[in-house]
Structure 1
Amino acid sequence: MVSELSRTLQDGYVSYGWERRMREFLSVPFSSSFLSILLLPKASDQGASHYNDLEDTLARANAWLNASQVSGVPIVFMNVQTESLLTKISGKTGSSTVNAGPLSGLSNLPNASLYGFEDYHGVDIGVVRAVRLWYASLGGEFAIEIKLREDDTKLGFAISRTEEGFLFISSVIDDDENLPSTRSGLKRLYKEASNSSSLLVVSRVANQKVLPWIVSSIGAIRCFDTVSISQKLSMHRHAKVPITIHVLLWDRACAFPSDSNMSRAATPSVLPLPSKDQLSRRLDEDLMQLMLPEFPNESGVVDDGEETDGDRVQLLPPEVPNESSVVDDGLEIRLERDTAGGILL
């Protein structure tokens, strides 16, 4: 009996129907509802051999979130973490980060954005510490299906972009009840967002996420440009093919009007996001925990970096979307910029 009581519990693997679950329990099949942006440490010199410390990256993430909220983007903070990205380093960068000795720079390591080590083959490997900021929409995502008719010559709304990289509906045509923007319920949502001092942010187009997702080492935000989005929507209008866009809601009650013809994709019953008050209390508790004299564990995803030459550690090419030109693919697509700097469709 004593030996039976001390027997080790057994564990093992069981099969799970991932494919079916991802089809049935996600509002957009095979696509998560988790929202985040990854910020790489900012290069402190033109050669990209030195980077600002971790506190600078955290401060930029904090500023981006606050600026987004002030501009009217209906999002709330959820979590922040560091992610370790591997890259090959050489030259002065390698000597300054690898040959500093095993203990000499240990006290500065918690706030370092780049440190290195030498592998068994004598190759200098750099570990870049990026910051991933997780956030959520106050009211969740909402799907709007825009159906087209043969006599539709315009969609009836304009798309612009905030400085933080969010696409949003910047204006709608108000004097025509037969436009797709009115029939789909987009105009109603736009007016409610304006009355609530919120932006009607577009989170997906044709089920593809169009939110900003990374900040490069030069500080550029990688996001979608309004021209390509407007061109895609215009092509659907010319082809008379319906298209679904998702928007971020500031209040979940806005998704269930009693007198709306809005098309809503069937979504499974899931646990709702916590309320704004609950999230605020949670943020206060997290901040209090951060003030305690503890050293939190850092979790991250290790990724392969890029191989660079000389002293340069290239984390991301300085690719900034270009909105100066529109490709005309044989269709007579007229894109007119509105006064808000967006594209009128």
Structure 2
Amino acid sequence: MAASDQTLVCVKQVKQELSNEWDESMPLPGDIIEGFSTHNSDADESFLPVKTSSEFSSQLGKINPRLESIWIKVRRGDSLLKLQTCIVQQKGYVLRRKYTIQATTDHRHIADLGDLTLEQCTELQVMSSRVVQTQGKGLHIDRIKYDWKMKVGTYLPHQSSSVVSSILFTPLAGEHCINTTTARCMAWFSASISSGVPLVFVNIQTELIPPTIEKTNLSNMQQKHYTAQIIHGIRLWFLPGLEEIPIELIPEPNEVRFGMEINRTEEGFVCIYSVTGGTSADRGGLKELHEEATANGFLLVISRLEGKSKMPTSVCSDGLIHCCDHAEMKDLLVSAIDQYEIIHLHVMAWPNQTRSSPTQVVGFAALLPPQRSFSTHHYD
């Protein structure tokens, strides 16, 4: 066989069509695979030679149950590179399984291997080189570290808070029009606003709801012909006030109550409707907030207690609103005062609320750009 007819195991193409996302750490068209190793070693003896693509596929199949990735030695131009790749099964081969390699950084980048001549490999390498070099002339996508723990602790009212809340409306029995469910959803939102709950509208969307029919109640024949009915609900996204104000209730010796009375609105929100002077609730600032909220026509609504949201979460098909048990909240407060434990809660802020918070508040107001005054410059 002439030297020009000798074939090499080569990457014929890759199934990642977005060539602008290729990089030199991936197997690229034209790469000649000279060997592979199951260990991250530079020693030549650790790499087993690759003779044909079918033999390499068979070897990958034997390794696959034990290891998810291997190291391959590829010749690219005048360079000899060591790349880490994953082992994947090629789709489309049913009777006989075939295995190939995939880039570790992109699961879409799967190599199609073949036995090609050196000339064919070189042509493919020229094409790949042009793609990667052209990419290099553009803007690089960088990856930066981000202190998520610090940001969550600094910019959220509580580490378990997502700031935005939502409530899911399931259609009532016989309610087959999505517009009817939407109207009911917006009626609830409008009623909440009218009652004095300072919600901020964010978004509204349809959502698939899994059917709740228990198939165990059906006969065998019914189960055979049973088709789950697709139900579309409405999810309303909202912010709990312009911001959430953190409150700390610190009981003093001999105090038997925190000094606030809570109640639940018709729409499922828990509000503070009275605060006793001289109590921990008063010292925490709730009396001042309650008086200001009342004077401005708003309710003083508890958005979370000990970091847990107290928002209504859903409306079921019988029209009942799923919300927090305010009796359970009362029991928690009674238990805490008995043990002289500190209680942390958040209340919803309303427009033009004036009371300054000792700690950073987070919400819609914090998402707005800061008010700044800029001096005017004149340029010749």
TM range (shorter): 0.5 to 0.7
The answer to whether residue 168 in structure 2 is matched with residue 38 in structure 1 is: yes
Tell me which amino acid in the other structure corresponds to 1:61. C
The 5-angstrom pairing of residues 266-345 of structure 1 reads 266=360, 272-274=366-368
- Evaluate the alpha carbon distance shift between residue 23 and residue 163 of structure 1 in structure 2; reply closer, same or farther with a 3 A threshold: same
Contact 2:243–2:364 (Cα < 8 Å) also in 1: no
The 5-angstrom pairing of residues 61-80 of structure 1 reads 61-80=185-204
Q: C-alpha distance in 1, partners of 2:214/2:263?
A: 42
The answer to whether residue 233 in structure 2 is matched with residue 130 in structure 1 is: yes
Q: How far is the alpha carbon of 1:265 from its aligned partner?
A: 3.9
- Evaluate the alpha carbon distance shift between residue 268 and residue 82 of structure 1 in structure 2; reply closer, same or farther with a 3 A threshold: closer
The 3-state SS of whatever aligns with 1:230 is helix
For each residue in 1:20-64, what CA deviation from the matched residue of structure 2 results, as whole angstroms up to 9, or x when unmatched?
4333432201321111111111112xxxxxx43211110011100
Q: How far is the alpha carbon of 1:195 from its aligned partner?
A: 0.3
Q: C-alpha distance in 1, partners of 2:201/2:307?
A: 23
- Evaluate the alpha carbon distance shift between residue 122 and residue 143 of structure 1 in structure 2; reply closer, same or farther with a 3 A threshold: same
Contact 2:244–2:361 (Cα < 8 Å) also in 1: no
Contact 2:243–2:365 (Cα < 8 Å) also in 1: no
TM-score by length of 1: 0.59
Count of residues in Structure 1 that have an aligned counterpart in Structure 2: 233
Matched with 2:309 is: 209
For each residue in 1:229-288, what CA deviation from the matched residue of structure 2 results, as whole angstroms up to 9, or x when unmatched?
1110111111000001110010364341xxxxx7x444589972459xxxxxxxxxxxxx
In structure 2, stretches of 5+ residues that fail to align are 1-126, 216-223, 370-380
Q: C-alpha distance in 2, partners of 1:130/1:171?
A: 37
Contact 2:172–2:316 (Cα < 8 Å) also in 1: yes
The 3-state SS of whatever aligns with 1:189 is helix
Matched with 2:339 is: 239
Matched with 1:172 is: 275
- Evaluate the alpha carbon distance shift between residue 202 and residue 88 of structure 1 in structure 2; reply closer, same or farther with a 3 A threshold: closer
Q: C-alpha distance in 2, partners of 1:165/1:135?
A: 14
Q: How far is the alpha carbon of 1:198 from its aligned partner?
A: 0.3
Matched with 1:324 is: none
For each residue in 1:53-91, what CA deviation from the matched residue of structure 2 results, as whole angstroms up to 9, or x when unmatched?
211110011100110011111112221001112337699
- Evaluate the alpha carbon distance shift between residue 182 and residue 135 of structure 1 in structure 2; reply closer, same or farther with a 3 A threshold: same
Q: C-alpha distance in 2, partners of 1:267/1:181?
A: 19
Q: How far is the alpha carbon of 1:154 from its aligned partner?
A: 2.0
Q: How far is the alpha carbon of 1:163 from its aligned partner?
A: 0.4
Q: C-alpha distance in 1, partners of 2:319/2:337?
A: 36
Contact 1:161–1:167 (Cα < 8 Å) also in 2: yes
The answer to whether residue 206 in structure 2 is matched with residue 85 in structure 1 is: no
Contact 1:169–1:201 (Cα < 8 Å) also in 2: yes
Tell me which amino acid in the other structure corresponds to 1:83. E
Contact 2:242–2:365 (Cα < 8 Å) also in 1: no
Contact 2:200–2:242 (Cα < 8 Å) also in 1: no
- Evaluate the alpha carbon distance shift between residue 20 and residue 168 of structure 1 in structure 2; reply closer, same or farther with a 3 A threshold: same
Moved over 4 A (4+): 2-17, 88-91, 266-271
- Evaluate the alpha carbon distance shift between residue 215 and residue 90 of structure 1 in structure 2; reply closer, same or farther with a 3 A threshold: closer
- Evaluate the alpha carbon distance shift between residue 163 and residue 241 of structure 1 in structure 2; reply closer, same or farther with a 3 A threshold: same
Which one has a bigger Cα radius of gyration? 2
Contact 2:160–2:308 (Cα < 8 Å) also in 1: no
TM-score by length of 2: 0.54
Matched with 2:153 is: 23
Contact 1:139–1:252 (Cα < 8 Å) also in 2: no
Q: C-alpha distance in 2, partners of 1:88/1:253?
A: 44
Q: C-alpha distance in 2, partners of 1:241/1:74?
A: 29
For each residue in 1:163-188, what CA deviation from the matched residue of structure 2 results, as whole angstroms up to 9, or x when unmatched?
00000011122xx42x1121111100
For each residue in 1:96-128, what CA deviation from the matched residue of structure 2 results, as whole angstroms up to 9, or x when unmatched?
xxxxxxxxxxxxxxxxxxxxxxxxx98734322
Matched with 1:156 is: 259
Contact 1:148–1:237 (Cα < 8 Å) also in 2: yes
The 3-state SS of whatever aligns with 1:42 is coil
- Evaluate the alpha carbon distance shift between residue 267 and residue 5 of structure 1 in structure 2; reply closer, same or farther with a 3 A threshold: same
